[in-house]
Structure 1
Amino acid sequence: LVPIPDAATDCEKAIKTGSRELKKDLSAYLFRSKGIMISDDAWSGVEYPDHLRVNIRVIDDNSNIIKQGRDLSLLQKDLKSKLEMKFRDLPEQDIEREGIDTWDFDDLPESCDVKINNST
């Protein structure tokens, strides 16, 4: 793999853009180009350093950062309860009803505008 910059450039060209399987793609590249076989087990426990992981930012309508991090699952978990509370606090709409067990109303509209913070 020496010189490293050349090997890294060749590897980058060989790996599909947008692939979600970097470890498998690296193994395949090393096998094809150098005959080096790396088993899936060899990658277990290997974590990418932060500079190689995407930094995800969740922003509001004014482009203010609500939350950011490199772990999508953790961000989703942290924001889920906040979003549920925001939706729960929204004013009820005329179309909303609870406890329906029979169809006792007219046809439902194709769409329904909801106003939130002066936005529709």
Structure 2
Amino acid sequence: STSFNYNPKDYADLPIKSYTEQLSVLHGLGLRKFLLAAVGPLGCIPNQLATGVAPPGKCVSFVNDMVEIFNMPLKSTVDQLNKEHTQNGTVFVYGNTYKAFFDLLNNLTSYGKYIDI
């Protein structure tokens, strides 16, 4: 139902803002090393594939597009947090799990023998 209240960018901004606030709380409690993982290609999960929206063997592209709308400001947030917290060995790292999973899906044979069951 949130799709009636927000466009994808505005919706992505909500969790980014909340995420940033929670990271500040954790930093205030003494945490100094953070890994912020991107959201993976949700348009490729079985639930989305079962909708039949995407052609066989493909992912639901509009879902993946929305995920990227979230991941891009997440990476920018990591860069900003690193600029703001340069003391006490604080490090924020962006883990691009979206790219890693998408690479795995698109290059199966480069990761070992592929067996179609």
TM range (shorter): under 0.3
TM-score by length of 1: 0.22
TM-score by length of 2: 0.23
Q: Which has the higher contact order (CA 8 A, sep 6+)?
A: 2
More helix as a share of residues? 2
